[in-house]
Amino acid sequence: MAVEYKIPQKNFKTLIREIDLNGIKTGGESSFLFMGGETGNSLKPLVACEILVNIPKNYPQLLIQAWEDKIQDPVECVKIAESAGFDVIAVRFNIENESDIPKSKEQLREILLSTSLPLIITGSFRRDLDIRLLPELAKTADRKCTIGVAEEENYKEIVPVIRDCGHNIIARTPIDINLTKQLNILLTEMNFSPDRILIDPNTGGLGYGLDYAYSIIERIKHAALTGDTMLNMPVITFVGEEAWKTKEAKSRAVPEEWGDFSTRALAWETVTASSMLVSGSNIVVMRHPRAVNYIKKFIDETHK
């Protein structure tokens, strides 16, 4: 006798918050991502293409080749990314000195004029410099953007301006669920709306780093879905930042059995991104356009 199998479904208490990135929304799921009907009307995860305003001397050659001569012009890169069909643009103002802030503000004005896509704006990831840079960028942006990162060491100086200018904020903590919740509480105590906070739990590029990040994101999502309203914000992971640091993605001086260099490098970013998505990341920020397209296809084919 044939037996009909009914897929069991888990009903959680709390939705992940739905956050407006200025035209595109993220979050809103009622279960873990990629769980079919269990997630209800969950929005598809988003893929952001990351563009740097300053290209480091050791920047991977494959990334330089992908953008060709336009790579030194962030405004042109933004235009190319929009014409290529990307949904979100992430611009990293990786400046070296405080004297570069006026130029960064002018670049941001040009970028805002060149695209209507939602923007993720990040700074130098140097806390002492970002204390000065991020508030200036927040004041310069004339429409809602998503700005980061705020950390426990610098949030007091950064949060008030981002809050008052109406932007979203990215809260970064070092792969620890308790620190993640603590920082979110600190932000809300400064009257920053939890509906404008995105969690950045930090990311590793495969290996142990990815394993730690995967586990923490799963724990964050489980706690959020079971009722913790200080953890039920969408998660953003900066995949490109980590994946392209590794020798596997940028070095040819490796054993021959590691295979073709270009294939390996793109796979490194792609597999890191897909792992972060399956763990629960709502937005992955990536760098190579081909890897971005692979992940967009992965989402379209698997997020039902």
pLDDT of residue 87: 85
Give the domain ranges of the chain. 18-299
The tokens describing 65, both together, are 């080749």
The tokens describing 98, both together, are 């405080």
Cβ atoms of 225 and 16 closer than 8 Å: yes
pLDDT of residue 208: 62
Rg (CA), the chain: 19
Distance CA 153, CA 150 (A): 8
- Which residues, at least 6 apart from 299, have a Cβ–Cβ distance to it below 8 Å? 44, 45, 47, 277
Question: What is the number of other CB atoms lying within 10 angstroms of the CB of residue 132?
Answer: 14
Closest by CA to 205, choosing from 213, 215, 216, is: 213
Give the pLDDT confidence of 141-199 residue by residue, as tens digits: 999 999 999 999 999 999 999 999 999 999 999 889 999 999 999 999 999 999 999 99
Distance CA 270, CA 265 (A): 9
CA 197 to chain centre: 12
Beta bridge partners of 47: 284
Beta bridge partners of 107: none
Pairing type for strands 18-20 and 25-27 reads: antiparallel
Question: What is the number of other CB atoms lying within 10 angstroms of the CB of residue 125?
Answer: 16
Phi and psi torsions of 195, nearest 5°: -80, 5
pTM: 0.93
Q: If you count them, how many residues does the chain have? A: 304
Question: What is the number of other CB atoms lying within 10 angstroms of the CB of residue 37?
Answer: 10
pLDDT of residue 35: 76
CATH architecture of 18-299: Alpha-Beta Barrel (3.20)
Enumerate residue ranges in the chain where pLDDT < 50: none
pLDDT of residue 234: 97
pLDDT of residue 206: 59
pLDDT of residue 295: 94
pLDDT of residue 122: 97
CA distances from 214 to 12, 208, 219, 221 (A): 20, 10, 9, 11
Cβ atoms of 244 and 238 closer than 8 Å: no
